[in-house]
Amino acid sequence: MIDKLSLIAVYPEIILLVMACVIALFDLGVKSRTRTATYLVTMLTLAIVAALQASYAASGQTLYAFGNMVVSDVMGNWLKCFATLSVMVTLVYGRQYAADRDMLRGGELFVLSLFSLLGMFVMISGNNFLVIYLGVELLTLSSYALVALRRDHTLSIEAAMKYFVLGALASGFLLYGMSMLYGATGSLDVQEAFKAIHAGQIKHQVLVFGLVFIVAGLAFKLGVVPFHMWIPDVYQGAPTAITIMIGGAPKLAAFAVVIRLLVEGLMPLATDWQPMLMLLAIGSLAIGNLAAIVQTNLKRMLAFSTISHMGFVLIGMMSGAVAGQPEAAASAYSSSMFYAISYVLTTLISFGVILLLSREGFEHEEISDFAGLNQRSPLYAGIMAVCLFSLAGIPPLIGFYAKLAVLQALVATGGTLQLVLAVFAVMMSLIGAFYYLRVVKVMYFDAPAGSAVLAAPLEVRAVLSLNGALLLILGLVPGGLMALCVNAVTQMLTT
Partner 1 sequence: MGLLSLAIWTPIAFGVVLLALGRDDQAQAVRWIALVGALVGLLVTVPLYTQFDVATAAMQFVEKSPWIESFNINYHLGIDGISVWFILLTAFINLIVVIAGWEVITSRVNQYMGAFLILSGLMIGVFCALDGMLFYVFFEATLIPMYLIIGIWGGPNKIYAAFKFFLYTLLGSLLMLVALIYLYITSGGSFDLLTWHKLPLGQTAQTLLFFAFLAAFAVKVPMWPVHTWLPDVHVEAPTGGSAVLAAIMLKLGAYGFLRFSLPITPDAAHEWAGLMIGLSLAAVIYVGLVSLVQKDMKKLVAYSSVAHMGFVTLGFFLFNDLGVAGGIVQMISHGFVSAAMFLGIGVLYDRVHSREIAAYGGVVNTMPKFAAFAMLFSMANCGLPGTAGFVGEWMVILAALRVNFWVGMAAATALIFGAAYTLWMVKRVYLGPVTNDKVKNLKDINAREFFFLSLLAIAILYMGLYPFPLTEVMDVSVSELLKHVALTKLN
Closest CA to 407 of 429, 388, 382: 429
Q: For the chain, how far is it from start to end, CA to CA, in angstroms?
A: 24
Find the binder of partner 1 among 486, 488, 492, 493 (CB under 8 A). 486
Does 427 sit near partner 1 (CB under 8 A)? yes
Q: Kindly list the distances between the CA atom of residue 474 and the CA atoms of 96, 410, 477, in Å, as whole numbers in the listed order.
A: 28, 23, 5
Q: Mark the segment that binds partner 1 (CB under 8 A) among 44-52, 243-251, 298-306, 394-402.
A: 394-402
Q: How far apart are CA 211 and CA 411, in angstroms?
A: 26
Does 412 sit near partner 1 (CB under 8 A)? yes
Q: Mark the segment that binds partner 1 (CB under 8 A) among 78-86, 258-266, 294-302, 432-440.
A: 432-440
Does 318 sit near partner 1 (CB under 8 A)? no
Does 106 sit near partner 1 (CB under 8 A)? no
Closest CA to 411 of 305, 304, 351, 322: 322
Given the complex with partner 1, which of 135 and 468 has the nearer CB atom?
468
Does 405 sit near partner 1 (CB under 8 A)? yes
Does 433 sit near partner 1 (CB under 8 A)? yes
Find the binder of partner 1 among 6, 297, 408, 465 (CB under 8 A). 408
Find the binder of partner 1 among 22, 166, 411, 463 (CB under 8 A). 411
Q: Kindly list the distances between the CA atom of residue 443 and the CA atoms of 39, 122, 374, 471, in Å, as whole numbers in the listed order.
A: 33, 41, 6, 19
Q: Mark the segment that binds partner 1 (CB under 8 A) among 16-24, 264-272, 275-283, 396-404.
A: 396-404
Cis peptide before 396 (omega within 30 of 0): yes
| Smallest distance from partner 1 to CB 106, Å | 41
- Mapped to the 3 state alphabet, what secondary structure does 304-325 carry? HHHHHHHHHHHHHHHCCCCCCC
Does 473 sit near partner 1 (CB under 8 A)? no
Find the binder of partner 1 among 8, 44, 293, 423 (CB under 8 A). 423
Given the complex with partner 1, which of 172 and 378 has the nearer CB atom?
378
Q: How many amino acids of this chain bind partner 1 (CB under 8 A)? A: 39
Q: How far apart are CA 299 and CA 303, in angstroms?
A: 6
| Smallest distance from partner 1 to CB 88, Å | 27
Q: Kindly list the distances between the CA atom of residue 109 and the CA atoms of 47, 57, 113, 335, in Å, as whole numbers in the listed order.
A: 17, 28, 6, 33
Find the binder of partner 1 among 168, 169, 396, 448 (CB under 8 A). 396
Find the binder of partner 1 among 261, 440, 464, 493 (CB under 8 A). 440
| Smallest distance from partner 1 to CB 412, Å | 5
Given the complex with partner 1, which of 362 and 445 has the nearer CB atom?
445
Does 469 sit near partner 1 (CB under 8 A)? no
Does 395 sit near partner 1 (CB under 8 A)? yes
Find the binder of partner 1 among 7, 8, 229, 483 (CB under 8 A). 483
Each residue of 307-343: b (16+ CB within 10 Å) or e? bbbbbbbbbbbbbbbbeeeeebbbbbbbbbbbbbbbb
Does 401 sit near partner 1 (CB under 8 A)? yes
| Smallest distance from partner 1 to CB 377, Å | 10
Does 466 sit near partner 1 (CB under 8 A)? no
Does 362 sit near partner 1 (CB under 8 A)? no
Given the complex with partner 1, which of 51 and 477 has the nearer CB atom?
477
| Smallest distance from partner 1 to CB 423, Å | 6
Q: How far apart are CA 267 and CA 258, in angstroms?
A: 11
Given the complex with partner 1, which of 218 and 443 has the nearer CB atom?
443
Q: Mark the segment that binds partner 1 (CB under 8 A) among 8-16, 198-206, 388-396, 458-466.
A: 388-396
Find the binder of partner 1 among 37, 437, 456, 463 (CB under 8 A). 437
420: exposed, middle or buried (Cβ count in 10 Å: 0-12, 13-18, 19+): exposed
Given the complex with partner 1, which of 157 and 404 has the nearer CB atom?
404
Does 394 sit near partner 1 (CB under 8 A)? yes
What is the contact surface with partner 1 in residues (CB under 8 A)? Answer: 331, 334, 374-375, 378, 382, 389, 394-396, 400-401, 404-405, 407-408, 411-412, 414, 419, 422-423, 426-427, 429-430, 433-434, 437, 440-441, 444-445, 477-479, 482-483, 486
